[in-house]
């Protein structure tokens, strides 16, 4: 009987401790999360999704999109990006020659080659990113050199990391981004691209619906399954297509006299996808937005 009490207490303490770790601590940390403000503005973040988009989250969930897609951008650090924005009286050719002369500054030596290489074949189009460095002093040394040479440059704070480099977002995802999502569809497997910022990347609802109906009509080698059942194939009324009928390439389109129209679920899902945006700087995930 004595051991019974010990076993009970041991089980109680270990379950209680894990409950504190997995339930209580996150609630204390994030349970009171509120809207925050977008950096250097008075705008709130995030805003409640529209009605359609809120319903779309449930369609996303019901169709298991999160089995193949994540909605979380990771970041490894921050860096300064030095961009050329104006050449003054210099010509693009002179600027390339000038960039090579940067060799004389020892602290810039390792960057000079990279800059010279990126200027190879540059047609003079501005703005032109010269280099990205995590070293603030180096970035300001470079900006000083550019200023002395009579050209204009801008130094921006940017997030770095593989997801950012893939173009999946401008900064890491933070808890505030999901404030109004119930349940949050973070996902853990990336058979397809991350969708945290898809509303900025592909802001066209019709294209989203074409892709859901026939992924190969948008991405020829796509392995994404088709979600045809979110659409209805029906006969055209008096031979005329309805306004929301999909406009698909010939090989994916319906037979003559028929049209493919989205069911409400498809429209809601597209509205949800368009509402997935994480393109503003926040206190806990800052960056300098491009002008």
Assigned token pair, 287: 């960056």
Nearer to ligand HEC, 147 or 228 (CB): 228
Residue that has been written with the tokens 């050329």 in this structure:
84
Of the candidate residues 53, 55, 65, 73, the single one contacting ligand HEC (CB under 6 A)? 65
* C-beta of 63 vs 112, nearer to ligand HEC: 63
- End-to-end CA distance of the chain, in Å? 73
Radius of gyration from C-alpha coordinates of the chain: 26
Site string for ligand HEC, 155-184 (x = CB under 6 A): ------------------------------
Rule CB under 6 A: say whether 67 interacts with ligand HEC.
Answer: yes
Smallest gap from residue 230 Cβ to ligand HEC (A): 8
Q: Name the residue nearer to ligand HEC (CB basis): 112 or 279.
A: 279
Q: Which of 269, 271, 278, 285 binds ligand HEC (CB under 6 A)?
A: 269
Cβ burial, residue 211 (10 Å; 0-12/13-18/19+): buried
Find all residues with CB under 8 Å of 277, minimum gap 6, and list them.
Answer: 197, 199, 200
Output the smallest distance, CB 200 to ligand HEC, in A: 11
Cα–Cα distance for residue pair 127/288, rounded to 1 Å = 15
Q: Is 231 in the site for ligand HEC (CB under 6 A)?
A: no
Find, among 109, 36, 31, 29, the residue nearest to 285 by Cα.
Answer: 36
With binding defined as CB under 6 A, does residue 69 bind ligand HEC? yes
Question: What's the token pair of residue 142?
Answer: 């470079």
**Spatial CA neighbour of 194 closest among 64, 65, 46, 57:** 65
Residue number, 168 or 287, with CB nearest to ligand HEC: 168
Site track 188-227 with ligand HEC (rule: CB under 6 A), x = hit: ---xxx-x--x--xx-----x--x---x---x--xxxx-x
Contact 163, 73 (CB under 8 A): yes
Q: Which stretch binds ligand HEC (CB under 6 A): 60-68, 91-99, 108-116, 124-132?
A: 60-68
- By beta-carbon proximity to ligand HEC, the closer residue of 84 and 198 is 198
CA distances from 9 to 3, 15, 229, 262 (A): 10, 10, 53, 58
How many residues touch ligand HEC (CB under 6 A)? 25
d(CA 86, CA 66) in angstroms, rounded, equals 44
Report the residue closest to ligand HEC, judged by CB. Answer: 192
Q: How many CA atoms lie within 13 A of 35 on its CB side?
A: 10
- When asked if residue 262 is in the footprint of ligand HEC (CB under 6 A), the reply is no
138 or 205: whose CB is closer to ligand HEC? 205
Which of 36, 50, 63, 155 contacts ligand HEC by CB under 6 A? 63
| Closer by beta carbon to ligand HEC, 82 or else 273 | 273
Q: For residues 80-139, which are near ligand HEC according to CB under 6 A?
A: none
CB atoms within 10 A of CB 42: 6
Contacts of 61 (CB under 8 A, 6+ apart): 183, 185
Residues forming contacts to ligand HEC in the complex (CB under 6 A) are 60, 63-65, 67-69, 191-193, 195, 198, 201-202, 208, 211, 215, 219, 222-225, 227, 269, 273
């Amino acid at each position: 009987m004595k051991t019974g009490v010990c076993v009970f207490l041991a089980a109680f303490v270990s379950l209680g401790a894990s409950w504190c770790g997995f339930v209580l601590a996150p609630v204390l940390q994030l349970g009171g999360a509120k809207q925050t403000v977008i950096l250097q503005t008075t705008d709130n973040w995030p805003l409640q999704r529209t009605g359609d988009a809120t319903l779309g989250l449930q369609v996303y969930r019901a169709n298991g999109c999160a089995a193949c897609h994540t909605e979380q951008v990771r970041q490894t650090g921050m860096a300064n990006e030095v961009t050329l924005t104006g050449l003054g009286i210099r010509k693009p050719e002179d600027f390339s020659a000038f960039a090579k002369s940067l060799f004389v500054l020892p602290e810039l030596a390792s960057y000079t080659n990279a800059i010279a290489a990126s200027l190879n074949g540059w047609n003079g189009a501005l703005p032109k990113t010269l280099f990205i460095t995590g070293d603030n002093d180096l970035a300001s040394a470079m900006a000083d050199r550019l200023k002395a040479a009579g050209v204009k440059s801008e130094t921006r704070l940017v997030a770095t990391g593989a997801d950012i480099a893939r173009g999946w977002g401008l900064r890491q995802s933070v808890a505030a981004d999901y404030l109004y999502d119930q349940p949050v569809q973070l996902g853990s497997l990336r058979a397809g691209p991350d969708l945290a910022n898809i509303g900025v990347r592909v802001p066209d609802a019709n294209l989203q619906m074409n892709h859901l109906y026939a992924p190969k009509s948008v991405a020829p080698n796509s392995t994404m399954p088709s979600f045809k059942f979110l659409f209805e194939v029906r006969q055209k009324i008096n031979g005329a297509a309805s306004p929301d009928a999909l406009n698909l390439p010939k090989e994916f389109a319906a037979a003559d006299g028929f049209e493919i129209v989205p069911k409400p679920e498809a429209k809601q899902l597209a509205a949800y996808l368009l509402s997935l945006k994480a393109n503003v700087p926040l206190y806990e995930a800052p960056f300098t937005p491009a002008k």
